[in-house]
Structure 1
Amino acid sequence: MTKPIGVGVIGASPGPNSWAANSHIPALRALRGFELRAVATSRRASADAAAQAYGVEGFDDARQLIDHPGIDLVVVAVKVTQHYDLVKQALAAGKMVYSEWPLGATPAEARTLAELAKANGVRTVIGLQSRFAPAVRRMRDLVDEGYLGRILATTLIGSGVAWGATTDRAHAYMFDAANGATTLTVPTGHALDALTCVLGDITSVTATLGIGRGVVQIADEGADLPVTAPDQIAVTAGLRSGATASIFYRGGLSRAGDLRWEVNGKSGDLLLTSPVANGNIQATELTLAGGSTPETTLSPLELPQPANPELAAIPVGPARNVAALYAAFAKDLAKDTYEVPDFAHALAIQTLIADIQASAAR
């Protein structure tokens, strides 16, 4: 048995609306290769509550967690505006780092962090877990196996649920483009990563970005909030394979469905959808259908169960894909491989997003 990886999570306040509490904590508890040893929040009361809920040490100063001798891997699961400073501190301390997506609020921040990780020889993980969803993995395998023949085109339409007509004060920052957590950078960014994982690199983009809702309401304050972050994202792209891609994300929800991804090949087609009102491909339930001959219509495709029994025991939901990312990272460390998306990969996706923004500005 190898020694478990000691983990500290920054931003692990307990509660139903906490991403870390609903994904990272159950994922870590399910995997024998990891041991949660500390959590950090911004307030003493929430740090104490987290410590009691998870049975580990709790800090209201993230630096104490970073310096903790039992922490091998620092998980940064706070607002993107805080990623740069916390990730930089953890890298400087020589700790492995798992940062939630996006890596930085700007491509410049992401580049600095990726370069610092490389210079320090530190292992990193970026929270782009949609590629570990069973439906996405199955799509990639089918494409690689030639199920569709030569890929002609793909169309991906989704909803950025959190960017609707109302919000609360805690999430109001996401409607300000300067803060780096927008419909483009978050749900569209996750979708772009899934698309390139399945179909290969994007080599050219054109885009139109629009603000459909110029004002949203802060529900818990009854106040209006001006919006500067685009909530209508229209991208056309060329893939290295020669196929053409169309990606459209909107803020909020749609009665017509919140996630639909088609891949069209010379011989067949695939269709990935979510049966629930959630367009966040990385954190929603997914179904897959396909047809591979002229005589067949689309029919449901069976998704493989995780080979790892620890993953199979986790219910479908936010924790499963995150756990799969952790498990892949543990495998990388054991075999000295580099299969999981790291900070260099994060920079590549954020550079692609910057290209989309530049195209829309022309």
Structure 2
Amino acid sequence: MSTTGIVGRNSGTRSLGIGIVGLSAAGGWAAAGHVPALQAVDGVELRGLAASSAASGHAAGMAYGVPAYTSVEQLAAADDIDMVVIAVKVPAHRELVLSALNAEVPVLCEWPFAKNLPEAEEMAGAAVGIRTFVGLQGRTLPTVRWVADLVAGGYVGEVLSTTIVMASDEWGNPISERERYTLDRKLGATMLAIAFGHAIDLVSSVVGELREVVATTATRHPRVALGRTGQTVSMTAFDQIAVSGTLPGGAVLSVHHRGGVASGAAFTWAIDGTEGTLEISAPGHPHLSPLTVRGAKRGARPAEMALPDGYDDYASLGGPIHSLAHAYDAIRDDLSRGDAVVPDFDHAVRRHRLLDAIVRAATTGRRVSL
């Protein structure tokens, strides 16, 4: 993707200045994913950070060679910061996003966007007139874009059904104290929100949005081991999620997602149509793991298909860096060209509405329209 026309907010350079909230010298998601992704993409540059304390900010600033600000407001107001990235735990998203929006600077917020639907709606409502992005980077992955092109181009013919089976080794197996908050349904970082939310979003980018859902949910691991301490802690997050519904055109979608499995994480996705079938699989979470595609026309055996040239500009990168590099590449072009490839806060609300509908359908035993 081209960098033509990119100009920083006030910097007069071609690169977009990025400020990250939640970047720590001790590591973590922002350090492992966002920083190397920014380093790999032309036209974007880390220029500042904000941390939870002056001491941690100073350490991070020294580690990454950028100014450390004492608040998100100061970071967002800096002349050379053109976009603020919120890369902290979900419960803190609302406060930090609203603070960044006050500076009227573009904001990228990690997914899950909010703890719940009302909070998501509030945050999106505050962003009117401001460019926003949400970290549902699965839909910008090369293989996902290619599969979308295959389906749109008629490879499977008319889509009849799509079936997803997922297994996450989290949400049931021993967990660290740092990740303990993901067990609490009220804090918004659950299996439904994180793993299911990411997966259903990239699926929806190919086959379309669900029109209504029926669902069953359960928590089959009410107690989870806390590391190797010998203690167990309560889990209220769902570790079994079964969803079905219809897509535009009448195709049927079904998903079964199970957590705390002994065999490790896995993802399989079949798209069946009148003319053929596509099978997509990953060894882990599909928005972070390499995807394999197998295809078959009617009457043939499925065979592995190779990603064509022109889709992957960052093939040498792996894991989350590969995923985030494509997201930042698309964000750069969205901001310079006025495109809308990367999902925004309104899209995040749409995704939260789906998650909310799944919970309501499972609670009431009724079909819920979207």
TM-score, normalised relative to structure 2: 0.91
1:38 to 29, 44, 48: 48
- Give 1:320's aligned residue: 322
2:180 to 164, 169, 172: 172
Q: Distance in 1 between matches of 2:77 and 2:260?
A: 40
- 1:169–1:221: 8 Å Cα contact kept in structure 2? no
Structure 1 residues 67-112: Cα deviation after superposition (integer angstroms, max 9, x where no partner): 3232110000100000000000001111110000011111111101
- Give 1:76's aligned residue: 86
1:200 to 201, 205, 208: 208
Q: Distance in 2 between matches of 1:222 and 1:95?
A: 47
Change in 2 beyond 3 A, CA 1:258/1:270: same
- 2:219–2:239: 8 Å Cα contact kept in structure 1? yes
Deviation at 1:45?
4.2
What aligned pairs does 1:52-63 form with structure 2 within 5 A after superposition? 52-63=62-73
Q: Distance in 2 between matches of 1:99 and 1:258?
A: 26
Q: 2:272 aligned with 1:272, yes or no?
A: no
* Secondary structure at 2:246 match in 1: strand
* Secondary structure at 2:342 match in 1: coil
- 1:169–1:220: 8 Å Cα contact kept in structure 2? no
Q: Distance in 2 between matches of 1:68 and 1:220?
A: 44
* Secondary structure at 1:42 match in 2: coil
Q: Distance in 1 between matches of 2:26 and 2:147?
A: 34
- Give 1:336's aligned residue: 338
Deviation at 1:220?
5.5
1:346 to 327, 331, 348: 348
- Give 2:11's aligned residue: none
Change in 2 beyond 3 A, CA 1:243/1:14: farther
- 2:97–2:109: 8 Å Cα contact kept in structure 1? yes
- 1:158–1:260: 8 Å Cα contact kept in structure 2? yes
Change in 2 beyond 3 A, CA 1:322/1:305: farther
Q: Distance in 2 between matches of 1:5 and 1:59?
A: 18
Deviation at 1:192?
1.1
Q: Which moved more, 1:154-163 or 1:346-355?
A: 154-163
Q: Which moved more, 1:82-91 or 1:4-13?
A: 4-13
Q: Distance in 2 between matches of 1:146 and 1:237?
A: 22
* Secondary structure at 2:146 match in 1: helix
Structure 1 residues 239-258: Cα deviation after superposition (integer angstroms, max 9, x where no partner): 11211011111113453861
Change in 2 beyond 3 A, CA 1:55/1:304: farther
Q: Which runs of 5 or more structure 1 residues have no equivalent in the other structure?
A: none
Q: 2:96 aligned with 1:92, yes or no?
A: no
Change in 2 beyond 3 A, CA 1:204/1:225: same
Deviation at 1:61?
3.6
Q: Which moved more, 1:38-47 or 1:314-323?
A: 38-47
Q: 2:202 aligned with 1:191, yes or no?
A: no
Deviation at 1:307?
5.2
Q: Distance in 1 between matches of 2:346 and 2:306?
A: 33
- Give 1:304's aligned residue: 308
Q: Distance in 2 between matches of 1:248 and 1:230?
A: 12
1:289 to 288, 291, 294: 294
Q: Distance in 2 between matches of 1:220 and 1:85?
A: 34
- 1:135–1:272: 8 Å Cα contact kept in structure 2? no
Q: Distance in 1 between matches of 2:135 and 2:274?
A: 33
Structure 1 residues 277-304: Cα deviation after superposition (integer angstroms, max 9, x where no partner): x2x111111111111231x211111013
Structure 1 residues 209-247: Cα deviation after superposition (integer angstroms, max 9, x where no partner): 100100001116442111111111110111112110111
Deviation at 1:60?
5.0
- Give 1:111's aligned residue: 121
Identity of aligned residues (%): 36
Give the paired residue count: 353
* Secondary structure at 2:328 match in 1: helix
Change in 2 beyond 3 A, CA 1:257/1:54: closer
- 2:72–2:100: 8 Å Cα contact kept in structure 1? no
Q: Distance in 1 between matches of 2:189 and 2:265?
A: 23
TM-score, normalised relative to structure 1: 0.92
Q: Distance in 2 between matches of 1:20 and 1:130?
A: 17
Deviation at 1:335?
1.6
Change in 2 beyond 3 A, CA 1:271/1:254: farther
* Secondary structure at 2:20 match in 1: strand
Q: Which runs of 5 or more structure 2 residues have no equivalent in the other structure?
A: 7-13, 365-370
- 1:210–1:231: 8 Å Cα contact kept in structure 2? yes
Q: 2:20 aligned with 1:12, yes or no?
A: no
Q: 2:357 aligned with 1:355, yes or no?
A: yes
* Secondary structure at 2:322 match in 1: helix
